Structure 1
Amino acid sequence: MNHLKGAIDIHVHSSPSIFPRSVNDLELAEQAKKAGMRAIVLKAHEESTVSRAKLVSKVIDGIEVYGSLVLNEYVGGLNPYAVDMAIQQGAKLIWMPTGSAKHHLEHYGGKSDYKEMKSTIRLLPQKGITVLAEDGRLLPVVYDIIDLIKGSGAVLATGHLSPLETRIVVEAAVSRGVEKVLVAHPDLKINKMDLSLQIELVKMGAYVEKSMLTLMPLWKSIEPDELVQGIRQIGLDKCILQTDFGQANHPTPTEGYNHFIQILLEHGLTEKEVEQMACSNPAELIGLT
């Protein structure tokens, strides 16, 4: 059964990529369109996907395809110039560092790779990016990035920062008037955070991702029952479903999304509740009317 009519995946990976992927950009868009999805947002750890999304949109109509930017070392890290360019070209999300984040590197023992998947190319060693100065305050450049995102229609998303860094970034972004803030996969073991903190961030005004990847064997960090209970405690209106799929050893992202929805329905969510988190909330987040 297809559950994907009108669904949006704001966090999905395809090739070209430094990691092995199950689909390329065109295949991903074609499959998502065929499944009746409304939109996808391409994510790459190593480059802006905005130009890629524009090219895909020229080739495949009937589905919205958007790009995003991850602030890893490969684009200059916390680089306002890259942020400004991506936003002006139509990026829907600006992600804080993932594989270049100090917290990510510490989680993987100093590697910007993952234990669960290996880069297909050599990666230079990295010191690790933190958003905090030695005194624990946000670096001035983070405020520059926040101010560029404010009023742009783009979303500030938190990446693989530590829970503490995430809290400080969300607080600063909201207090400076950023309209859309997203907490990246807070159930994933890389940046796993307590439910109480997720609730606190939502009270500040942030959305939180709920991800199929967190249920997969290699990445498993939560049980479906706990995921559903957490969604109810956080509030359905602030949760956004995504797959974070694209890994070569997983089903394709559209198959994964369909399976994710099936799991959530089997664990007590209603079709209407799923529709809110798969369709309405992400549409509101990325500004689709």
Structure 2
Amino acid sequence: MDLHCHSGPSPMPRHLTHVEAARMAAEAGMRAVVVKCHYHDTAFDVHAMEPALARIKTSVFGGVALNSPVGGVNPHAADLSLKMGGRIIWFPTISSAAHLDHASSNEGLRRHFQSRGVLASNEVDILGSDGELLPEVHTIIDLVKESGAALSTGHLAPDRALVLVEAAAAAGLDRLIVSHPNFVPKADPQQVVELTKLGATIEHEIGMYDNDRRFPLGDLLKWIDLVGPDHTSLASDLGQAGNPLPVDAYRRVLPRLLDSGIRERDLRTMTAVNPARLISLDD
């Protein structure tokens, strides 16, 4: 399964549509794909494409990222997505302070996230002026728990991610995703270990290790070794124009992991078992 596919439509240039992503995933024998956009709720995309997707064996799900275009930490946006079949609620990605800080020093990245001249994202925080979690955060956690969906910390900085995961764990939610901790959030290993102790699954994006595009494969092996396959999930984070196709990256990176000593059963845990649990699909 690929729980982090950036197919289109999107304001940002995309290499393929959700239907094309599903078709390629089906040809590769993949069970499910979750499509993600930083700007809108992809659960509605999935419904709009139902006639075409119905002919494809691979299941496709959507979700919503709680950035400024959907009102930020907005329980109504989360509830609507979940009621429409969304399987992941991402807390702020491009609207997080960590992301905005990261983009501010990279003009190309800033332009990438403002394609078509869309307004720059406003910062969205999960804490109020008193330093406590906003009441809306607790409401969203409860909605996610009741729905059987997963909650992702998005691009929140490690301190914010920790507060969010602590609150979710205290509420009994254990379908928790922390994506690419070494990119944008820039969490250190100890912070990642602390998050897994609270029940979070660390999602690493194979697109960043495909041909060592952003990080060498050895870094991924170290992260897997740090928390173990049971706390690790692999996804593509691909679909952007100019980047490799998601399925092609899987075909290149997974054999390299096996050649590097990752056991086949552990690879299956990270690519099938853990993703299925996170979005409540029986494996």
Q: TM class, shorter-chain normalised?
A: over 0.9
What is the percentage of aligned positions where both structures have the same residue? 36
Residues 158-213 of structure 1, C-alpha deviation per residue, up to 9 Å, x if partnerless?
1111111000000011101223111122122x112111111111111111101113
Question: For residue 5 of structure 1, what is the aligned residue in structure 2?
Answer: none
- State how far apart, in whole Å, the 2-side matches of 1:223 and 1:179 are: 30
201, 204, 208: which one pairs with 1:207?
Answer: 201
Q: Which moved more, 1:111-120 or 1:153-162?
A: 111-120
1:33 alignment partner, SS class: helix
SS for the counterpart of 1:150 is helix
CA contact (8 A) 1:47 1:69 kept: yes
Pick closer, same or farther for the CA change 1:110–1:242 going to 2, 3 Å. Answer: same
Tell me which moved more, 38-47 or 123-132: 123-132
Distance 2:148 2:261 in 1: 34
Distance 1:150 1:111, change over 3 A: farther
Shift of 1:108: 1.4
The within-5 A match list for 1:152-163 is 152-163=147-158
CA contact (8 A) 2:22 2:56 kept: no
In structure 2, the gaps of 5 or more residues are: none
Residue 230 (structure 2) aligns with: 237
Q: Alpha carbons of 1:204 and 1:174: their partners in 2 closer, same or farther (altered >3 Å)? A: same
Give TM-score, length-normalised by structure 2.
0.92
- Contact 1:70/1:98, CA 8 A, preserved across alignment: yes
**In 2, are the aligned partners of 1:99 and 1:112 still within 8 Å (CA)?**
no
Alignment partners' CA distance in 1, 2:63 and 2:105: 26
Q: Is 2:99 the partner of 1:104? A: yes
Give the aligned partner of residue 264 of structure 1. 257
| CA distance in 1 between partners of 2:239 and 2:92 (Å) | 19
Note if contact 1:21-1:248 (Cα within 8 Å) is conserved in structure 2.
yes
Match 1:278 to one of 256, 271, 276 = 271
Q: Does 1:61 align with 2:56?
A: yes
**Gapped regions of structure 1 (runs ≥ 5):** 1-7
* Matched-pair contact (CA < 8 Å) for 1:42–1:65: yes
| TM-score (normalised: structure 1) | 0.90
The match for 1:196 is 190
Equivalent residue number for residue 169 of structure 1: 164
Deviation at 1:30, TM superposition (A): 0.8
Relative to 1, partners in 2 of residues 1:119 and 1:259: Cα closer, same or farther, differing over 3 Å? farther
Query: Which letter maps to 2:243?
Result: H
Equivalent of 1:93, from 79, 88, 91?
A: 88
Cα gap change, 1:107 to 1:261, in 2 (>3 Å) = same
> Is it true that 1:249 corresponds to 2:242 in the alignment?
yes
Distance (whole Å) between structure 2 residues aligned to residue 46 and residue 246 of structure 1:
15
Q: Deviations over 1:60-81 (max 9, x none)?
A: 3311111111011111111111
CA-atom RMSD, angstroms?
2.1
Q: Alpha-carbon deviation of 1:111? A: 8.5
Assess, with a 3 A threshold, how the Cα gap between structure 1 residues 175 and 153 changes in structure 2: closer, same or farther.
same
Deviations 1:128-179 (A, max 9, x none): 1111123322122211211221221011101111111000000011101223
The 8 Å contact of residues 57 and 65 in structure 1, kept in 2 or not, is answered as: no
For the residue of structure 2 that corresponds to 1:210, the secondary structure is: strand
Distance in structure 2 (CA, Å) of the matches to 1:178 and 1:282: 15
- 1:57 deviates by 4.2
Q: How do 1:206-225 residues align onto structure 2 when only pairs under 5 Å count?
A: 206-215=200-209, 220=214, 222-225=215-218
2:109 aligned counterpart, secondary structure: coil
CA distance in 1, matches of 2:89, 2:108: 21
Q: Which structure features the higher share of helix residues?
A: 2
